[in-house]
Structure 1
Amino acid sequence: MIDTHSHILPYCDDGAGNWRQAEQMARQAAAQGVKIIVATPHHRKGIFLNRPSHIQSLVTRLNKQLSDAKIPIHICTGQEYHMTSMIMADLASGEIQSVERTKYILVELSSRNLPKLVLPYLRVLKSRGLIPIIVHPERYEPVIENLSLLSGWLREGAFFQLTAGSLTGQFGPAVQRTAYTIAEYNLAHLLASDAHDTSQRSNRLGQAYEMLEKEFGRELSDRLKNNASLLLQNQPLLIGVPKRLYRAKWYEFSFIK
């Protein structure tokens, strides 16, 4: 199993606070059957700045530590890029780190106030040959209130990655309902832990996959697992046939197949 999104690197953001905690997070992930973790420290979110060279140095050190400790986990490079008006400058200077040097990048939006230029920014990334994966869309308040936002982003070539903790109820019932709705209507393409530690924001990937399979069947959970592998191979992701949205708010959703 592959975890495509974890804040497992220490000394860079609000994830692991030290090397010992990073090792504990890896052990916790391995116990769930995870073999590969994509390290995705925040970049451009508040005070957090994590450029590719810094990420690579931390990943190299952590991989050696895990090898020495005989923990069967391999860490890949990645980044959670917080979309801001700096995107053009960051593209020009090479500050955006794709997932393990593929064409895929993880993009985070503001939880409460979405940037007005989301669609133009997505077009810019696409014009540079990059494919945006919008992380935890179910946790953005504007999306919870108006799921039709996802339709526009999907048309611009974006993919969506759910957080395991959203499905397990870690972020409350509204987020959980939204996550399940996104999954139910084939708008989810990846599932990741977004783990930050071993307690409050721990890795719940195995539990979330079990919940998805129980609720929607094995086809969906297998597709999301396969997409994680395809992502690291820089291959096109598998897409379920989405159902068409009639109304915008989760509590009055109506779809046609």
Structure 2
Amino acid sequence: MGIFNNKINISELYPKGLVDIHSHLLPGIDDGAKTIEDSIGLVKRMQKQGINNFRITPHVLGGVWENSSELIKEKEAELKAALIENGFHDVNIHASAEYMLDDNFSQLLENDDLLPLKDKYILVEMSFFNPPFNLDDLLFQIQVKGYIPVLAHPERYNYYHDNIAQYEKLIEAGCLFQLNLLSLTEQYGKPTTKTAYTLLKKGMYTFVGTDTHHKRHIHLIKEIATKKNKKLLTPLFENNIETFSF
């Protein structure tokens, strides 16, 4: 059997009830959807692929996207109202955030001004150039505050690509890993894809997300719909459902 015989429909890849825990669907708030029309279009496309549940995560990044919790919740209300107005009555959304581990985050953490994915799970990310100099202390402080850090797309941090031990150290420090489905496509380059499959096969991921910003991402994700990937990804899909269902 060749690779073409291994292909399945994207709707067959996703189990019923899947919750996407990483996306940028709120309008005009970061580098994701620009307008409410963009937001609705993205939700419509994702729903056609089999996803009805979204924990949306706009960037919170000091000096770039300093989105307050209040603004995020305002945008959430705007999107919810627009979805109902347009007949999307079976779509569930909850606005959280993707927090850059920077000085701005440290202040938000100190003030308990964070929007969890659900319960005490918070989605965090690091710079693509280098990890925070105080990473260990940040992870410790997150957990002292009672939160559980979910590290977004660890496969994209190329400074760790040649050192799996660093990934193991992060898990030992209390991080849960979230795989980007886009990392299994050409989106971020071959080294990222290779690292993603390495971590996946080693069982180092707990959760998964699309990290959808625009319609090209949704189109790209269709490429990963294979029987092989379904076997690898199903445990993560099930974790998402068990932990983040509405």
Superposition TM-score tier, normalisation by shorter sequence: 0.7 to 0.9
The amino acid of 1:14's aligned partner reads: D
Q: Distance in 1 between matches of 2:222 and 2:120?
A: 27
Moved over 4 A (4+): 203-207
Q: Distance in 1 between matches of 2:244 and 2:129?
A: 31
Alignment of 1:154-193 (within 5 A): 154-193=171-210
Does residue 240 of structure 2 align to residue 228 of structure 1? Answer: yes
Alpha carbon RMSD of aligned pairs, Å?
A: 1.9
Q: Which residue of the partner structure matches residue 76 of structure 1?
A: 94
Aligned-residue offset at 1:74: 1.6
Unpaired stretches in structure 2, ≥5 consecutive residues: 1-17
Percent of aligned pairs with the same amino acid:
27
Q: Distance in 1 between matches of 2:133 and 2:58?
A: 24
Per-residue CA distance 1:74-124 (angstroms, 9 max, x = gap): 211210000013333211323321114x10000010111111211111111
Q: Distance in 1 between matches of 2:24 and 2:176?
A: 20
TM-score under structure 1 normalisation?
Answer: 0.82
Does residue 71 of structure 2 align to residue 59 of structure 1? Answer: no
Q: Distance in 2 between matches of 1:194 and 1:203?
A: 13
Counterpart among 228, 233, 236 of residue 214 in structure 1: 228
Per-residue CA distance 1:176-214 (angstroms, 9 max, x = gap): 001000101001111111011112x33655654x34x51
Q: Distance in 2 between matches of 1:45 and 1:89?
A: 10
8 Å CA contact 1:5–1:38 kept in 2: the answer is yes
Q: Which residue of the partner structure matches residue 97 of structure 1?
A: 115
- Secondary structure of 1:9's partner? coil
Per-residue CA distance 1:195-241 (angstroms, 9 max, x = gap): 11112x33655654x34x515x63x422211211233259xxxxxxx
- Secondary structure of 1:5's partner? coil
Aligned residues: 228
Q: Distance in 2 between matches of 1:61 and 1:45?
A: 24
Q: Which residue of the partner structure matches residue 30 of structure 1?
A: 47
Closer, same or farther in 2 for the Cα pair 1:189/1:174, shift >3 Å?
same
Report which structure shows greater RCO (CA 8 Å, sep ≥6).
Answer: 2
Does residue 194 of structure 2 align to residue 194 of structure 1? Answer: no
